[in-house]
Chain A
Amino acid sequence: MNRLNQAAAAARHAAAWLLPAGRRDWVTAIWAEAHEVPPGLARLAWRAGGAWVIAREALMPRRLGRAALFAAAAAAAAWAAWPQPGVGHAAVSRFHVVATVLLLAGLPLLARRFFGPATASRAGRFLRVFSCAAILALLPAFAIVEAFANLTPAQPAYRYVFCTAQGWSNVQGCSAVLGKSTGGPPWVGEIPLLLMTIAYLGVILFLTSRRSQVTRGTLAVGAGTGLLFGVVMYAVAPLGLTNGATDPWLPGSNADPLVALAWVLLFGGPAAAAALAAWRGRGPGGARLSRSVRIGQGIAAGVLANGTAALFTTAFGTGTVALMLKSPWLLHVLNHGHYLTAIAAYRYEANAGAGANVYLFMLIWFPVIGLFMSALAAACTTPGRPAPRELTPVPATPGNQ
Chain B
Amino acid sequence: MTSSSGFSAQTLSVLAALCDEPSQWQHGYALAKQTGLKSGTLYPILIRLADRGLVEACWQDEPQPGRPRRHLYRLTAAGLASATAALARAARPKATKAARTPAVRGAVVGVVP
| Residues on A facing B (Cβ under 8 Å) | 23, 25-26, 28-33, 35-37, 45-50, 52-53, 56-57
Is A29 in contact with B70, judged by CB distance below 8 angstroms? yes
Nearest CB in chain A to that of B70: its residue: A32
B8 contacts partner chain A, Cβ-Cβ < 8 Å: no
Is B39 in contact with A50, judged by CB distance below 8 angstroms? yes
What is the minimal beta-carbon distance from A230 to any residue of chain B, in angstroms?
A: 37
**Docked CA distance A28–B59 (Å):** 11
Nearest CB in chain A to that of B28: its residue: A33
Q: Which residues from 64 to 87 on chain B have a C-beta closer than 8 Å to any C-beta of chain A?
A: 67-71
B93 contacts partner chain A, Cβ-Cβ < 8 Å: no
Is B71 in contact with A33, judged by CB distance below 8 angstroms? yes
The residue among B38, B40, B68 with the most chain A CB atoms within 10 A of its own CB is: B40
Given contacts A35-B68, A49-B42, 13 further A-B contacts (CB under 8 A): A26-B46, A28-B71, A29-B28, A29-B43, A29-B70, A30-B43, A31-B68, A32-B68, A33-B27, A46-B39, A49-B43, A56-B44, A57-B44
Is A35 in contact with B67, judged by CB distance below 8 angstroms? yes
| Residues on B facing A (Cβ under 8 Å) | 27-29, 38-44, 46-47, 57, 67-71
Nearest CB in chain A to that of B67: its residue: A35
Question: Which residue of B41, B42, B47, B67 contacts A23 across the interface (Cβ within 8 Å)?
Answer: B47
Is A29 in contact with B71, judged by CB distance below 8 angstroms? yes
The residue among B39, B42, B67, B70 with the most chain A CB atoms within 10 A of its own CB is: B39
Cβ contacts A to B, 20 pairs, < 8 Å: A23-B47, A25-B57, A26-B71, A30-B39, A31-B68, A32-B68, A32-B70, A33-B27, A33-B28, A33-B71, A35-B68, A36-B27, A36-B29, A49-B39, A49-B42, A53-B39, A53-B44, A53-B47, A57-B44, A57-B47
Nearest CB in chain A to that of B69: its residue: A32
**Docked CA distance A282–B43 (Å):** 34
What is the minimal beta-carbon distance from B17 to any residue of chain A, in angstroms?
A: 15
**Docked CA distance A45–B38 (Å):** 8
Nearest CB in chain A to that of B51: its residue: A22
The residue among A25, A32, A52, A56 with the most chain B CB atoms within 10 A of its own CB is: A32
Within 8 Å CB of A26, what residues of B? 43, 46-47, 71
**Docked CA distance A33–B28 (Å):** 7
What is the minimal beta-carbon distance from A36 to any residue of chain B, in angstroms?
A: 4
Q: A36-B27, A37-B29, A56-B44 are in contact. Are A25 and B39 (CB under 8 A)?
A: no
Within 8 Å CB of A56, what residues of B? 40, 44
Is A52 in contact with B40, judged by CB distance below 8 angstroms? yes
What is the minimal beta-carbon distance from A52 to any residue of chain B, in angstroms?
A: 4
**Docked CA distance A37–B39 (Å):** 11
Is B71 in contact with A25, judged by CB distance below 8 angstroms? yes
Within 8 Å CB of B28, what residues of A? 29-30, 33
**Docked CA distance A156–B103 (Å):** 89
Within 8 Å CB of A32, what residues of B? 67-71
Sorted from nearest, which 7 A-B pairs have the closest CB atoms? A49-B39, A49-B40, A29-B71, A52-B40, A32-B68, A36-B29, A33-B28
**Docked CA distance A57–B71 (Å):** 18
**Docked CA distance A156–B44 (Å):** 71
**Docked CA distance A56–B57 (Å):** 20
What is the minimal beta-carbon distance from B47 to any residue of chain A, in angstroms?
A: 6
**Docked CA distance A29–B73 (Å):** 11
**Docked CA distance A37–B42 (Å):** 15
Is B68 in contact with A53, judged by CB distance below 8 angstroms? no
Within 8 Å CB of B69, what residues of A? 32
Is A36 in contact with B43, judged by CB distance below 8 angstroms? no
Question: Which residue of A31, A33, A36, A49 contacts B38 across the interface (Cβ within 8 Å)?
Answer: A49
**Docked CA distance A25–B69 (Å):** 11
Within 8 Å CB of B39, what residues of A? 30, 33, 45-47, 49-50, 53
**Docked CA distance A30–B37 (Å):** 13
What is the minimal beta-carbon distance from A8 to any residue of chain B, in angstroms?
A: 14
Is B67 in contact with A53, judged by CB distance below 8 angstroms? no
**Docked CA distance A57–B40 (Å):** 11
What is the minimal beta-carbon distance from A19 to any residue of chain B, in angstroms?
A: 11
What is the minimal beta-carbon distance from B56 to any residue of chain A, in angstroms?
A: 13
Within 8 Å CB of B40, what residues of A? 48-50, 52-53, 56
Within 8 Å CB of A35, what residues of B? 67-68
What is the minimal beta-carbon distance from A200 to any residue of chain B, in angstroms?
A: 31
Question: Which residue of A36, A47, A53 contacts B70 across the interface (Cβ within 8 Å)?
Answer: A36
What is the minimal beta-carbon distance from B86 to any residue of chain A, in angstroms?
A: 23
Nearest CB in chain B to that of A27: its residue: B43
Nearest CB in chain B to that of A29: its residue: B71
Nearest CB in chain B to that of A23: its residue: B47
Is B44 in contact with A33, judged by CB distance below 8 angstroms? no
